[in-house]
Homo-oligomer: A and B are copies of this chain.
Amino acid sequence: MEHQGPLKRDLVAGLEKGLAVIESFDQERPRLTISEVAVRTGLTRAAARRYLLTLTHLGFVSQDRKMFALTPKVLRLGQSYMHSARLPRIVEPELHKLAYALKEASSAGVLDGNDVICIAATSAGRVVSPTLQPGTRVAAHCSGNGRVLLAALPPEDVDAWIKRQDLVALTPNTITHPERLRIEIARARSLGYACIDQELEMGLRTVAVPLRNYKGEVVAAMNISVHASRMSMEQLVEHCLPPLLQAQAHLRMLL
C-alpha cells in the first residue's frame, strides 16, 4: 500500500484538515465552537482556530460570538462536481423521464465507502423523501442502489466490505447478518437487479439496477422507489422493472 501512495512531500498539509473541518458540521451539530471542531477533527485547539478563521476569511464559515457555522457558499464546492461531472448530466434526463412516466421517485447513486452517494434524484411530484438530492448519503448495505453496486464488485471485495461494516438495522427488516447479506448481494448479481423491502425506511420499497458504460463496467446504479402501501414487491417488479431495464439499456449507449 504505502509505496503506491503519493510521497508525503507532494501532499498539501492544510487541505485534508480544512476539508475535514467543513465535514465536521452536521445536522446534530450545526454550530460548533473551536474546541468542538478540534475534538471532531482531531486537531489541536490552536490549529482548529486557524482553520476556522481561514474558512471564515474565505466566506465558507460564519462566526457568531464563539459559535461557527457553514455558509451557503459551501454549496459551490458540490456544484463544481454537479456541473463538471459527466455522469449526473447524462443520467439526470433519463431518470426524470422514467420517474415522470411511472409517477414514482427515482434516484441514481455511486458507492463511496460505506454509503451510496446520490448523484441525481427526482420525486416526480410525489413527496416520498423530499430530502433526497445530489449529495445525500444512504447506507449501502440496505439500499437498492447499494446492493447492486456491491453486486458489481468482485466477490472477495464484497466479503472484505461486509467484514468492515457494522450492518446497522435501520428498520426491523434490515438484513444485518453478514452471511444473509452476502447471499442477497449474490442474488442481485445473478438477477441483474435488487429489491429492497423496507430495509432502509419503513414504507419504502425499491427496485434497482446497475448502470453500465459501453465497456460493460458498472459506473452507477439507478432505482425506483414506491410507498409500500401502494405496491407489493411483486407489483413493483412487474410494473417498474421493465422501464428501469429500458432506461439501463438506453444509458449504456451514452455512458
Contacts and interface: CB of A to CB of B under 8 A. Distances in A.
A72 B85 contact: yes
A77 interface: yes
Interface residues of A, number: 71
A75 B30 contact: no
Contacts of A203: none
A141 B90 CA distance: 30
Interface in A45-69: 49-51, 53-60, 69
A87 to B, nearest CB: 8
Contacts of A82: 75, 133, 135
Interface stretch (A14-22, A194-202, A222-230): A14-22
A219 to B, nearest CB: 11
Interface string A92-131: 1100100010000000001010000111001011010011
Interface string A132-162: 0111110000000000000000000000000
A131 B24 CA distance: 28
A164 interface: no
Across the A-B interface, the 4 shortest Cβ-Cβ residue pairs: A78-B78, A14-B14, A125-B125, A75-B135
Interface of A: 5-6, 10-19, 22-27, 29-30, 49-51, 53-60, 69-87, 89, 92-93, 96, 100, 110, 112, 117-119, 122, 124-125, 127, 130-131, 133-137
5 contacts: A15-B54, A19-B77, A74-B77, A76-B137, A77-B77
